[in-house]
């Protein structure tokens, strides 16, 4: 999985691509931990480049969201398609998080 991040006004756009599984999911959590340490209050994860997400990826997302909330921040998502969208739908994550269709919509919030 590749992670690219753009910071602006205590908000981070984290663009994910590839596969988020047991091997790669910890990198997302570590990246979010680093953002929290830097004072980031909102993280938007752009999932448009993500091809696959496993239960380990979901656990990493949930853990990161809890840490962000405890720090007074939030985690939201955009650009979900295909299998990733289906996994979020079936797991109930679509009801737990703010999800935007596009990156532009997420950034406008």
**Burial tier of 17 (Cβ tally within 10 Å: 0-12, 13-18, 19+):** middle
Q: Report pLDDT for 54.
A: 97
Q: Report pLDDT for 49.
A: 97
Two tokens, residue 95: 């009801």
Q: What is the pLDDT of the chain when averaged over all its residues?
A: 95
Question: How many other CB atoms are there within 10 angstroms of residue 106's CB atom?
Answer: 21
Residue 101 has pLDDT above 90, yes or no: yes
Task: Please tell us whether the domain made up of 2-108 is placed in CATH 3.30.70.1400.
Answer: no
What is the value of pTM for the model shown? 0.93
Residue 109 has pLDDT above 90, yes or no: no
Residue 59 has pLDDT above 90, yes or no: yes
Band (9; pLDDT cuts 50, 70, 90): confident
Nearest to 31, CA basis, from 71, 60, 73: 60
Position with higher pLDDT, 9 vs 75: 75
List the chain domain ranges: 2-108
Decide if 39 contacts 7 (C-beta within 8 A): no
């Amino acid at each position: 999985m590749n992670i690219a991040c753009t910071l602006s006004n205590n908000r981070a756009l984290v663009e994910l691509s590839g596969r988020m599984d047991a091997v790669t999911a910890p990198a997302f959590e570590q990246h979010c931990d680093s953002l929290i340490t830097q004072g980031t209050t909102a993280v938007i994860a752009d999932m448009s480049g993500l091809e696959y997400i496993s239960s380990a990826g979901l656990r990493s997302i949930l853990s990161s969201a809890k840490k962000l909330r405890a720090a007074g921040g939030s985690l939201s998502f955009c650009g979900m398609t295909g299998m990733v969208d289906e996994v979020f739908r079936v797991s109930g994550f679509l009801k737990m998080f703010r999800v935007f269709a596009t990156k532009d919509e997420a950034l406008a919030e």
